[in-house]
Structure 1
């Protein structure tokens, strides 16, 4: 006779909220670690990221020597990660418009070239690529990546409305950090931002830290397109750390008062945790949690083609975050295993 399986633990979650785990499509690093300069640190960040309720993320490699991209691909393909799931890489660059490079080192920017992306595919660890669609030969890159299962996003771009729409028709399905590293929305020249807001096919990445985008504008975008928004942190090495100096790629940033900037004053990523982003959206939009959660769960999962993530459904991975009534993280589970908050849950055993 087969042995009976041990009974699953029971926890009393009265007054707590169980939600799907949060998914971050754009994370440059955290806890003092920068993925671009040292991709080996992805594992260390994954292990601790669960404290913010993040159960899956895309380590983001910014414009850098291509050898760093190759190393990051090896790390993701070979890594055995504990904590938050690593869903693949987000490569932000090198096909960006120099005029909207932001914190990206212009020495490493390149014009679109099929040779550069020869090994970039979902099978080789690349899940999402951000590029400027107005650059010459960008259409060839978009087509090649889409055929390899990679999601393509428009960003760091000066694309006109018409150029953006053309790129959406070519296969782009997202826009990276709306309003940032693109021309301002203008009533006669709506540009990439206007195209993203008007096209129902496009998932809109948005950084709700109150620095990259004003809270009032976040509220306006939410009211018009909440069903297409994927909240991202765009956090970098300073997340979870005190103010000071940190690396983003080969650039030193100064972090103070919730802002990360280069020596020339350019914004360079954020120090936003995803659970704080959720609390910000709640406060700025006055929306209930059930309306907020898709932007942190099902919408990013659907963009990546991962229909079984970001949802609480029988037979789906039990990637969960447990909040208190103030949306503070009490515990996080990945694959049904408690990866953060075990002491608290043990105190609540039935």
Structure 2
């Protein structure tokens, strides 16, 4: 049992100054002002003075970190998951990019067998990005493995089997039939790496597509007479929009424009981070390719952006800097919005009964400590007080 006291609590509908949150059995038990809550004697008390208590961050697109690439070796999902709480991430979707379908099958099997004693961010299931992508917008995906979508290929994909999100190009032959199958199997479908027209994108939304993979990237630019997938994602309220806010994939001024258009109603920050996250500049892998990484970007030899080196806590700070929004306004983009998209009502909010996945942030919005399932899994100079009993 943990009681976090004297902290600023970011509850769904209010910000509680000098608040307190009681956690037990992996769930949030109570929220109140610190003056109103007297924790049980057995509670482990955490002094959150000067800190922000926020829901744990959820990343829907992560290719790897710490030198590990999930597509190349899905077993590295677990060591990366153990590392992610240092960025405030409490759950995520390991992303498998375009590869033989056997790679996705292998990654699904890995998720079924967490290591003994594992402690870290929770892999909620895979994000399979490819191979059902348009070759004209392949980005850093290997064109040798791209293929048309088929119902047979996705017949066994479900959250129970380890698949939560699938990115495909809706204009491809057979794509809408596959969207329908995945929808029936409770897998969220995203449009991305696509040349879809506005009409084709809308047909995709009608079929059940509910997400857009990294807005602006790997899709045609906006044209005032043919809005394409980009315009359809911005215009259609049914779609949640993924956005990489690293200042490289999308210009900060354009991030602000998107914010002013859709705000925190359906905007979802993702990192799309690759193996170089948390590592020095150098050469790293993304799928089959060697990627050159400097202080700010990851690129193929031809200059194509190949994922990012963005950490999720940095993404939040960037959004606030680029748009002028508040922390309270920014938080849904990495907490409740992705949780709702994946139909995980127990995650993404600080409220009684919700999972005790939490992060404490400093006034500068650096990660101070992270709690997952009611257990402290990361802490940096955390001031705590154990009560007797």
Query: If the TM-score is normalised by the length of the shorter chain, which range does it land in?
Result: over 0.9
RMSD: 1.2
Pair 1:149 & 2:186 matched: yes
Range with bigger deviation, 77-86 or 249-258: 77-86
**Secondary structure of the residue that 1:344 maps to in structure 2?**
coil
**Secondary structure of the residue that 2:54 maps to in structure 1?**
strand
Cα distance in structure 2, aligned partners of 1:124 and 1:284? 39
Range with bigger deviation, 9-18 or 174-183: 9-18
Pair 1:86 & 2:120 matched: no
Q: Deviations over 1:63-94 (max 9, x none)?
A: 00111111100001222442101100000001
Structure 1 residue 189 displacement after superposition: 1.3
More helix per residue: 1 or 2?
1
Structure 1 residue 349 displacement after superposition: 5.9
Unaligned runs of 5+ in 1: none
1:29 to 40, 51, 64: 64
| Number of the residue aligned with 1:248 | 286
Q: Deviations over 1:217-271 (max 9, x none)?
A: 0000011112110100000000000000000011110001311001111110000
2:322 to 284, 289, 294: 284
Preserved contact between residue 133 and residue 163 of structure 1 (Cα < 8 Å): yes
| Number of the residue aligned with 1:115 | 152
**Secondary structure of the residue that 2:61 maps to in structure 1?**
strand
**Secondary structure of the residue that 1:123 maps to in structure 2?**
coil
Structure 1 residue 163 displacement after superposition: 0.4
| Number of the residue aligned with 1:136 | 173
Structure 1 residue 274 displacement after superposition: 0.2
Q: Deviations over 1:319-341 (max 9, x none)?
A: 00000111000000001110000
Detail structure 1 runs of 4+ shifted over 6 Å in the superposition. Answer: none
Preserved contact between residue 368 and residue 380 of structure 2 (Cα < 8 Å): no
Structure 1 residue 342 displacement after superposition: 6.2
Pair 1:263 & 2:301 matched: yes
Q: Deviations over 1:161-206 (max 9, x none)?
A: 0100010000000000000000001111110010000011100000
Structure 1 residue 343 displacement after superposition: 4.6
**Secondary structure of the residue that 1:246 maps to in structure 2?**
strand
Unaligned runs of 5+ in 2: 1-39
Cα distance in structure 2, aligned partners of 1:349 and 1:208? 39
1:16 to 51, 56, 65: 51
Preserved contact between residue 331 and residue 345 of structure 1 (Cα < 8 Å): no
More strand per residue: 1 or 2?
2
| Number of the residue aligned with 2:82 | 47
**Secondary structure of the residue that 1:165 maps to in structure 2?**
helix
Preserved contact between residue 43 and residue 82 of structure 1 (Cα < 8 Å): no
Cα distance in structure 1, aligned partners of 2:121 and 2:48? 22
Preserved contact between residue 204 and residue 229 of structure 1 (Cα < 8 Å): yes
Structure 1 residue 6 displacement after superposition: 6.6
1:225 to 262, 272, 276: 262
Cα distance in structure 1, aligned partners of 2:74 and 2:379? 27
Relative to the length of structure 2, the TM-score reads: 0.87
**Secondary structure of the residue that 1:237 maps to in structure 2?**
coil
**Secondary structure of the residue that 2:285 maps to in structure 1?**
strand
| Number of the residue aligned with 2:235 | 198
